Amino acid sequence: MNKIVDKEYFSENVVKFEVEAPLIARSRKAGHFVIVRVGEKGERIPLTIAASDVAKGTITIVIQAVGASSKKICALNIGDYITDVVGPLGQATHIENYGTVICAGGGVGIAPMLPIIEAMKKAGNKVISVIAARTKDLVILEEQVAEYSDEVIVMTDDGSYGQKGLITNGIETVINREKVDLCVTIGPAIMMKFVSLLTKKYEIPTMASLNTIMVDGTGMCGACRITVGGKTKFVCVDGPEFNAHEVDFDEMLMRLKAYN
C-alpha cells in the first residue's frame, strides 16, 4: 500500500499526486512508468513517473480524469492509499548531448515530459520546450518546464494563452528558425502522429513516448503491442519510447479504441 502524501489540482481534471514508494523513487530514471491499481476490484493502469524525491521516498504522478479508473484515482485524497504501485517499468529515455532538442508535450503529457526536459538540460542540450493544450486552464507545469528549458513556447488551440495554434505550429516555427537535432514528444496519440509527420518532413530524429492499453506492464500479455518498423513491439518492455517515424500510429489509434 502506498500512501498519498500530497495532492494538487493542476486543473479541474488534472491532478498531481506525490506517493510514498521509496524503492521506486530510488531506482527510477526519466522515461520510466509505474502501474497502479486502486481497490481490490481496480484495474491496472500505466502512469509515467513525473518526478521523484529519494530523500522523502516519494514519486510524483500526474493523472487526467478521463475514464472510470483515472476518476477513481483522482478522487483519492492526502492520507489515502493507492492499493498497488509497481515499477519502475519500461526502458529509460536515452539521454545524451544531442545539441538542440525540442521537447513537445501536449496536455497531461507535459508531466511525463518534465523529467526528460530536466535530464536533457543537465546533459548539456539546448532545450526548447513546446507545450500545448486545448485552452489556458489546461496548460500545466509551465514554471517547472521553464526552469530547465532555454525557451518555452506555449500553444493553445483557442489562443486563450500563449500563441494560438497546434503544437505542430510551434515546432515548425523553431525548425524554420534554427537547426534542431532531436525532437521528443509525449501527448495524445493523434498529436504525436502529427508531430511525427512534421518532423519526418524535415528529417529530424524524433522519439515518441507511447501510451497504449496495458495490463501487467511487464511483458507477459502483449495488450500494449504496436508495430514499429514493421515489427511487433511491446510498449511496456521495449518502450515506452520509440523512433516516432517508424511507429504505425494509425494502428495504435485503432487499438486504443479496443474497449470503447
Partner 1 sequence: MTEQEYILARRSEPWREELRKSVKAKERGERPRVHMPELDAEYRSHSLKEEVNLGLSADQAVFEAGRCLDCANPTCMEGCPVGIQIPSFIKNIERGDFLEAAKVLKETSALPAVCGRVCPQEKQCEAKCIYIQKMKKEPVAIGYLERFAADYERESGQVSMPEMAPANGIKIAAVGSGPAGLAFAGDMAKLGYDVTVFEALHEIGGVLKYGIPEFRLPNKIVDVEIDVLRKMGVKFVNNCIVGKTISREDLLEEGYKGIFAASGAGLPNFMNIPGENLIGVMSCNEFLTRVNLMDASNPESDTPVQMGKKVAVIGAGNTAMDAVRTAKRLGAEKAYIVYRRSEEEMPARIEEVKHAKEEGIIFHTLHNPLRYEGDDKGHVQRMLLQKMELGEPDASGRRKPVPIEGATEWFDVDQVIVSVGVSPNPLIPSTFKGLEVSKWGTIVVNQDTMQSALPEVYAGGDIVRGGATVILAMGDGRKAAVAMDKAIQYKE
**Residues that bind partner 1 in the complex, under the rule CB under 8 A:** 23-24, 27, 37, 39, 41-44, 68-69, 72, 83-89, 215-216, 218-223, 225-227, 232, 237, 251, 254-255, 257-259
Cα–Cα distance measured from residue 211 to residue 216, given in angstroms and rounded to the nearest whole number: 14
Closest separation in Å from C-beta 57 to partner 1: 13
User: With respect to partner 1, which residue has the nearer C-beta, 27 or 97?
Assistant: 27
At 139, list the grid cell. Answer: 496548460
User: With respect to partner 1, which residue has the nearer C-beta, 99 or 222?
Assistant: 222
User: With respect to partner 1, which residue has the nearer C-beta, 28 or 121?
Assistant: 28
Closest separation in Å from C-beta 20 to partner 1: 13
Q: Are 208 and 246 in contact (CB under 8 A)?
A: no
Burial (CB count within 10 angstroms: exposed 0-12, middle 13-18, buried 19+), residue 75 = exposed
Closest separation in Å from C-beta 166 to partner 1: 25
Closest separation in Å from C-beta 251 to partner 1: 6
* Residue-by-residue DSSP string for 43-80: PPEEEEEEEEETTTTEEEEEEE--SHHHHHHHT--TT-
Closest separation in Å from C-beta 115 to partner 1: 17
Among positive and negative, which fits the CA dihedral 24, 25, 27, 33? positive
Closest separation in Å from C-beta 260 to partner 1: 10
Strands of 163-216, DSSP E: 163-164, 182-186, 206-209
User: With respect to partner 1, which residue has the nearer C-beta, 87 or 112?
Assistant: 87
Cα 251 to chain centroid, rounded: 20
User: With respect to partner 1, which residue has the nearer C-beta, 41 or 179?
Assistant: 41
User: With respect to partner 1, which residue has the nearer C-beta, 43 or 157?
Assistant: 43
Residue 139 burial (CB count, 10 A): 22
